[in-house]
Amino acid sequence: MSLEKHAKRELELAGLFDKDSDYSGMLGKAVMDLVKVFAKQGHSGFSAHQTLKIFQIVASYKNLTPITSNPDEWFEYETGNWQNKRDSALFSKDGGKTWRSVDAPKKKWYQFWK
């Protein structure tokens, strides 16, 4: 069975095309659009796994590489307060030399060491 047929069947069984489903069936269509593109790329088992893994990271607005103290990664949104351009949950008081995540407020300020 092709990936597209498998995906369509599973989405139908889950009711994701139904007008009374979340987002009025849009989720089923959106997933099928992605499946069609992915299926056309002709991945092997390994490249499929790697592609999905990388896609999930970037589509979730996560970073593939560590955050750095490079000034190009930070912007001063108000005097003395900086935010990271690659991860909007990171804030700094010293231009990105040290930073804190609002997603982990109990953690101490830390520094990225090269």
Q: Kindly state the DSSP code that residue 16 receives in the 8-state scheme.
A: T
Determine the pLDDT at residue 104. Answer: 78
Please state the length of the chain.
114
Q: For 51-97, how does the pLDDT look when each residue is reduced to its tens digit (9 = 90+)? A: 999 999 999 999 999 999 999 999 999 999 999 999 999 999 999 99
Whether the per-residue pLDDT at 113 is higher than 80: the answer is no
CA Rg value for the chain: 20
Q: In angstroms, rounded to a whole number, what is the distance separating the alpha carbons of residues 108 and 67? A: 16
Q: Give the pTM.
A: 0.76
Strand blocks (E) in the chain: 74-78, 81-84, 90-92, 98-101, 110-111
Q: How far is CA 55 from CA 20, 38, 47, 63, in A?
A: 29, 11, 12, 11
Domain residue ranges of the chain, discontinuous segments joined by +: 3-59, 71-111
